[in-house]
C-alpha cells in the first residue's frame, strides 16, 4: 500500500486493473485505492509481469503492506520492505480486475439504506456517463459495483439509464477529507518554522500581451493568466532552488525536477493539491493544457498516485473569490507555498505617471530551515521580473 499523503496510515484497495500474468510497463495504472482524498489511481514504477495478487478489493491495509508480487526477468518478487524503502513514490506492488469473465448476475446491487455500494471510481464514471448505479450488476465484495462493472454495463446495455448523483463529489467523504487537511496543517504549523513575505506585481504588460495572443486563438487554445503565474513561479525557482524540494532527510537537498502542486477546491468542499509533474520543461501553453487536465481529473476522481505524492512546491490561489492576498500553510514535507490573490486594477506609478494598471499580490510561505527572508525576497522579485516579459509568442 503506497503512501499517498503526509499523514496517511492506511488505504482501502477498491479495484484491481490488472491480473496475474499481465505484463506492465512503468507508469501503467494497475489499481484504485480509496483514501481520505478519494479514489486514487495507482501507477506502477517498474516494468515486469504481475505474479500473485496479495490483497483483495475491499481490504483496508496499512501503508507498506504488500498488494501484489511483481516478477521481472529474474522472477524477483516485490516485498513489503521494498515498498517501505520508498513510500513517497508509492510501492511497485500492484494488480487489477480479473480477466474478462462475466460477473454473476445480481438481481439488485448491494445497498445500505438508499445508498448503492460502489467504488469511488465506479461512482465517478457512472456520473460521467449518466448511468444509474441501480441498473449495474456488481461483482465486488458483497455485490459492490466496481469500475469494470460500469464499463461492462456501458458496453452491453442498449440504452444507459440516467440518474442524478448524490450531492457533493462522488466517492469523497468530506468529513474525512477535512480531518486529513486538519492533520496535515497541524503537523505543518507544529514542525515547520514558517516565514512569510508578500509582494505586489504589475501585470498590465503581461495582460496586454496575453490579450493580443488570445485574439488570434480559438477559445480552447487561449492562455489564462493563471498559466503565466505558474510558469513564472516555476522558472523563478532556478534562481532560488532551495525552495523546491521535500524535507524528508538530513541534510536537506533541493529537488532537481519541479513537480508543481496546484491547490484545487473540490465542488462541495475540500481541497486537493495534485502536482503537474516536471513542470520545469513546460512552456506556458503546455502548463495551460496540464492545468485544464489536472483540474478536470481531480474533480472527476481520476488522479494518479504520483500526482498526489511527488509535489515539490505548491501554488494556491483564491483569486476567483476576489480576495487581495492569501497567506498559506506549507504542505509537508514540501518547503514552500506560493499564493496569488485576485488580479485587479490599481493606481500604480508607470513611466513617471500614475495609471490604472492590473496588479496582483503574491505571497510566499517558506521553511526557515532551508531558506531565509533574503532568499525568499529574491524569489518573489524574480517572479515579478519574469512576468514583465512573459515567455509567450
Domain-embedded: residue 108: no
Provide the pLDDT for residue 290: 96
Residues whose CB is less than 8 angstroms from the CB of residue 274 and which lie 6 or more positions away in sequence, other chains included: 261, 262, 264, 294, 298, 303, 307, 308, 311
- Looking at the structure, do residues 69 and 184 belong to the same domain, yes or no? no
Using only C-alpha atoms, what is the Rg of the chain? 23
DSSP run (H or E) holding 344: strand 344-350
- Looking at the structure, do residues 372 and 270 belong to the same domain, yes or no? yes
**Is the pLDDT assigned to residue 329 strictly greater than 90?**
yes
Domain-embedded: residue 314: yes
Distance CA 247, CA 261 (A): 16
Domain boundary among 89, 118, 134: 89
pTM of model > 0.85: no
Residues whose CB is less than 8 angstroms from the CB of residue 235 and which lie 6 or more positions away in sequence, other chains included: 280, 382, 386, 391
Distance CA 177, CA 52 (A): 32
The tens digit of pLDDT for each residue in 81-137 reads: 333 333 333 333 333 344 444 544 444 555 544 456 777 677 767 766 666 777 788
Structural domain of residue 32, as residue ranges?
10-89
Distance CA 246, CA 252 (A): 8
Distance of CA 223 to the CA centre of its chain: 21
> Taking phi first (over 0 means left), then psi (-120 to 50 degrees means alpha), and beta for anything else, what does residue 307 get?
alpha
| pLDDT grade for 155, boundaries at 50, 70 and 90 | low
The tens digit of pLDDT for each residue in 179-237 reads: 778 888 899 999 999 999 999 999 999 999 999 999 989 988 999 999 999 999 999 99
**Is the pLDDT assigned to residue 393 strictly greater than 70?**
no
pLDDT over 70 percentage in the chain = 78
The tens digit of pLDDT for each residue in 307-327 reads: 988 999 999 998 777 889 999
Domain boundary among 89, 116, 134: 89
DSSP-H helix ranges across the chain: 80-84, 120-129, 147-156, 174-191, 204-215, 225-236, 284-300, 305-309, 373-388
Query: Average per-residue pLDDT in the chain?
Result: 81
CB 68 within 8 A of CB 52: yes
Domain boundary among 32, 55, 89: 89
Domain-embedded: residue 120: no
Domain-embedded: residue 179: yes
- pLDDT winner (highest mean) among 12-26, 29-43, 171-185: 12-26
Distance CA 57, CA 334 (A): 32
Please, what is the Cα angle at 60 between 49 and 77, to 5 degrees? 25
Provide the pLDDT for residue 99: 42
Tell me how many domains the chain contains: 2
- Looking at the structure, do residues 318 and 212 belong to the same domain, yes or no? yes
Provide the pLDDT for residue 133: 75
pLDDT over 90 percentage in the chain = 44
Domain-embedded: residue 148: no
Q: How many CA atoms lie within 13 A of 347 on its CB side?
A: 2
Distance CA 101, CA 300 (A): 27
DSSP-H helix ranges across 259-372: 284-300, 305-309
CB 120 within 8 A of CB 92: no
Domain-embedded: residue 338: yes
Domain-embedded: residue 204: yes
Q: Which among 377, 345, 339, 338 has a CA at the least distance from the CA of 359?
A: 345
Domain-embedded: residue 5: no
What DSSP character marks residue 391?
S
Output the nine-digit C-alpha cell for 221: 487554445
CATH number at residue 26: 2.40.50.100
**Is the pLDDT assigned to residue 158 strictly greater than 70?**
no
Provide the pLDDT for residue 95: 35
CB 337 within 8 A of CB 330: yes
| pLDDT grade for 352, boundaries at 50, 70 and 90 | very high
CATH number at residue 240: 3.30.559.10
DSSP-H helix ranges across 278-354: 284-300, 305-309
Provide the pLDDT for residue 71: 82
Amino acid at each position: 500500500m503506497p503512501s499517498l499523503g503526509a499523514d496517511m496510515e492506511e488505504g482501502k484497495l477498491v479495484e484491481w486493473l490488472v491480473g496475474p500474468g499481465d505484463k506492465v510497463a512503468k507508469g501503467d495504472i494497475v489499481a484504485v485505492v480509496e483514501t481520505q482524498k478519494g479514489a486514487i489511481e495507482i501507477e506502477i514504477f517498474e516494468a515486469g509481469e504481475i505474479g500473485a495478487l496479495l490483497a483483495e478489493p475491499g481490504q483496508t491495509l496499512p501503508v507498506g503492506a504488500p498488494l501484489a508480487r511483481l516478477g521481472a526477468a529474474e522472477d524477483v518478487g516485490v516485498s513489503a520492505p521494498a515498498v517501505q524503502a520508498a513510500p513517497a513514490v508509492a510501492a511497485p506492488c500492484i494488480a487489477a480486475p480479473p480477466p474478462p469473465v462475466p460477473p454473476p448476475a445480481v438481481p439488485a446491487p448491494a445497498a445500505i439504506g438508499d445508498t448503492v455500494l460502489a467504488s469511488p471510481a465506479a461512482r465517478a464514471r457512472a456520473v460521467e456517463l449518466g448511468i444509474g448505479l441501480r441498473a449495474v450488476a456488481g461483482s465486488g465484495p458483497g455485490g459492490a459495483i466496481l469500475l469494470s462493472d460500469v464499463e461492462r454495463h456501458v458496453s452491453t446495455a442498449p440504452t444507459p439509464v440516467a440518474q442524478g448523483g448524490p450531492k457533493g463529489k462522488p466517492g469523497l467523504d468530506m468529513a474525512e477529507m477535512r480531518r486529513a487537511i486538519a492533520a496535515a496543517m497541524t503537523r505543518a504549523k507544529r514542525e515547520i518554522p514558517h516565514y512569510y513575505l508578500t509582494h505586489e506585481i504589475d501585470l498590465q504588460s503581461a495582460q496586454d500581451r496575453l490579450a493580443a495572443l488570445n485574439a488570434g486563438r480559438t477559445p480552447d487554445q487561449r492562455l489564462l493568466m493563471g498559466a503565466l503565474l505558474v510558469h513564472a513561479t516555476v522558472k523563478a525557482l532556478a534562481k532560488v532552488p532551495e525552495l523546491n524540494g521535500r524535507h524528508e532527510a538530513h541534510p536537506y537537498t533541493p529537488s532537481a525536477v519541479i513537480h508543481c502542486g496546484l491547490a484545487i477546491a473540490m465542488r462541495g468542499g475540500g481541497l486537493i493539491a495534485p502536482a503537474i509533474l516536471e513542470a520545469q520543461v513546460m512552456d506556458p501553453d503546455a502548463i495551460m493544457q496540464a492545468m485544464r487536465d489536472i483540474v478536470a481529473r481531480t474533480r472527476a476522481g481520476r488522479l494518479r498516485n504520483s500526482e498526489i505524492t511527488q509535489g515539490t512546491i505548491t501554488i494556491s490561489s483564491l483569486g476567483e473569490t476576489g480576495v487581495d492576498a492569501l497567506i498559506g500553510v506549507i504542505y509537508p514535507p514540501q518547503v514552500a507555498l506560493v499564493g496569488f490573490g485576485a488580479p485587479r486594477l490599481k493606481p500604480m506609478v508607470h513611466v513617471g505617471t500614475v495609471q490604472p494598471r492590473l496588479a496582483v499580490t503574491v505571497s510566499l510561505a517558506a521553511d526557515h530551515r532551508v531558506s531565509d527572508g533574503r532568499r525568499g525576497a529574491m524569489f518573489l522579485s524574480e517572479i515579478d521580473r519574469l512576468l514583465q516579459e512573459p515567455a509567450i509568442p
